[in-house]
């Protein structure tokens, strides 16, 4: 369980996530990093779900992006196809929010590659809280980073599986 938000505003793309790792109702770690950046291709990603599964998927996404010369759309579709059809990957339980300068997607293990309406994505246990807060804040003069940070803070006040140890990556 976690909260990830991806915000696109004024030519800036930011992904933010909380740092809480829980096992059942117990907090195991409060400072985990669930957001990553693929520097070479200007892609940011956040993960909700099992940590090991998310890291495996991030490595696969990075390989797909390289294989498809930085085309995030194609890489996302190819990863979703593999995720759904591969016997090993099918068991991975995670959601990904990914973005580059042009596109933002939610990628799921059911084969979904969803492009959200609007410029904000929220996933994970507190994703809907962060999404709602972010949508309201998009109408302000706040930057994408400020919106992402505040959206996670709001979610952390509501969702018991989310804390306010916020990690941010941006392009």
pLDDT tens-digit profile of 111-124?
789 999 889 999 99
Q: Residues 87-97: what's their mean pLDDT?
A: 73
Task: Determine which one of 2, 26, 31, 85 is catalytic.
Answer: 2
Question: How far are the Cα atoms of 7, 46, 50, 78, 124 from residue 89, in angstroms, in the given order?
Answer: 28, 18, 13, 13, 19
Query: pLDDT value at position 82?
Result: 82
- The bridge status of strand 120-124 relative to strand 113-114 is unpaired
More confidently predicted of 141 and 87: 141
Query: pLDDT value at position 90?
Result: 62
Q: Report the C-alpha dihedral over residues 71, 57, 13, 123, rounded to 10 degrees.
A: 130
- Residue 2 bears catalytic tag: yes
Q: What is the CATH number of the domain that holds 120?
A: 3.60.20.10
Q: Which domain holds residue 158?
A: 3-170
Kindly tell me if the per-residue pLDDT of 64 is higher than 90: yes
The domain tally of the chain equals 1
């Amino acid at each position: 369980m976690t909260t990830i938000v991806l915000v696109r505003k004024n030519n800036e793309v930011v992904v933010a996530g909380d740092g809480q790792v829980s096992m059942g109702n117990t907090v195991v770690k409060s400072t985990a990093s669930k957001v990553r950046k693929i520097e070479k291709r200007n892609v940011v990603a956040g993960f909700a779900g099992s940590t090991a599964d998310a890291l495996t998927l991030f490595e696969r996404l990075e390989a797909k992006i390289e294989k498809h010369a930085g085309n995030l759309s194609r890489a996302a579709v190819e990863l979703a196809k593999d995720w759904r059809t591969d016997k090993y990957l099918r068991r991975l339980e995670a959601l990904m929010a990914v973005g580059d300068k042009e596109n933002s997607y939610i990628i799921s293990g059911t084969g979904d590659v969803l492009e959200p309406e609007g410029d904000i994505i929220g996933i994970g246990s507190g994703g809907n809280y962060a999404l709602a807060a972010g949508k309201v804040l998009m109408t302000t003069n706040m930057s994408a980073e400020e919106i992402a940070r505040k959206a996670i803070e709001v979610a952390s006040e509501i969702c018991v599986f989310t804390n306010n140890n916020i990690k941010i990556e941006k392009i």
